[in-house]
Amino acid sequence: MMTRKPYVSASVMGLIVLVCLFAWLIAPGNPTRMEFDALLKAPSAAHLFGTDQLGRDVFKMVLHGGRVSLFIGALSAAISAVIAVIYGAVAGLAPRWLDNALMRATELVMSVPSILYVVTIQAILGKPTPVSLALVIGITSWTSIAKIVRTEVRQIHGSEYILSARLSGAKFGYVLRKHLLPNVLPSVMFMLIYNVSTAIAAEASLSFLGLGLPPNSASWGALMSTAQDALLTNSWWLILIPTTLLVTTLICITNIGEWLRRR
């Protein structure tokens, strides 16, 4: 049965990505520039999305911050994909005893709340940066994809073309690149899309908890970290606008991932 293509989600997501990529052209200037004569101004012609407690233009911060959040989401998904594909392929091709050991290790990793890994690794890396946050989120979100890759590899590793390649002396990297990846990629593609949305949400959650990027940086998570102060000052735009963009992005990515899964 054919499934409806997510034209609306893809269009909205494409628009968000384009606007964030060309933020320097649409909203030029330093997004963290403070205007002390424009503190907590509601949306107006001068400031389309209003200003925050430090007089920073929220419109600029949302656009420039979107680039950071999308970068963290894409990079962390790529990191988790690389780890998951290698780990899952090794488990799928390994002898039964090693496969069982690797899968038990994966379940052990999944049994511990990811926030504990994030706090520990981030403490080791030091001051949070977009790259360090992407690295932390990426190396703590590979387990689900690894299990899918392992299952797919287990199903096809006995195929004649795989056996022929291995008997011909093909190394693991060649078999993985030429034979395994083309077969497992469709199965894990939707998981990669979900990982992007999960990473963006994780960055926002970490910033809200004070473990992400500092509030003086431009990212959707950093904007969300000021939500408590915004409630106290009745500055609704500081909560509504970034949250709406974040939720819209997550819904679009989820719809696209769901369509890929059904396909």
In a domain, 142, yes or no: yes
In a domain, 241, yes or no: yes
**152: CATH:** 1.10.3720.10
CA–CA distances in Å: residue 140 to residues 41, 47, 133:
39, 39, 11
**Could you read off the pLDDT of 159-218 as tens digits, one per residue?**
788 788 878 888 877 887 887 777 777 777 777 888 888 888 888 777 777 777 776 677
In a domain, 46, yes or no: no
* Range(s) of the domain holding residue 203: 54-262
In a domain, 15, yes or no: no
216-247 burial by CB neighbour count: b if 16+ within 10 A, else e? ebbbbbbbbbbeeebeeeebebbbebbeebbe
In a domain, 71, yes or no: yes
SS3 51: strand
Return per-residue pLDDT of the chain as tens, 263 residues: 456 788 899 999 999 999 988 988 888 888 878 887 878 888 888 888 888 887 888 888 888 888 888 898 899 989 998 899 889 888 888 888 998 999 999 988 888 877 778 778 877 877 788 888 888 888 888 888 888 888 888 888 777 887 888 788 888 778 878 877 777 777 777 778 888 888 888 887 777 777 777 766 777 877 777 766 777 777 888 888 888 888 898 888 888 888 877 77
SS3 57: strand
In a domain, 2, yes or no: no
Model-wide pTM > 0.75 = yes
In a domain, 29, yes or no: no
Number of domains in the chain: 1
In a domain, 4, yes or no: no
- Tell me which residue of 259, 244, 218, 238 sits closest to 49, measured CA to CA: 238
C-alpha R_g of the chain: 22
**Could you read off the pLDDT of 17-34 as tens digits, one per residue?**
999 889 888 888 888 788
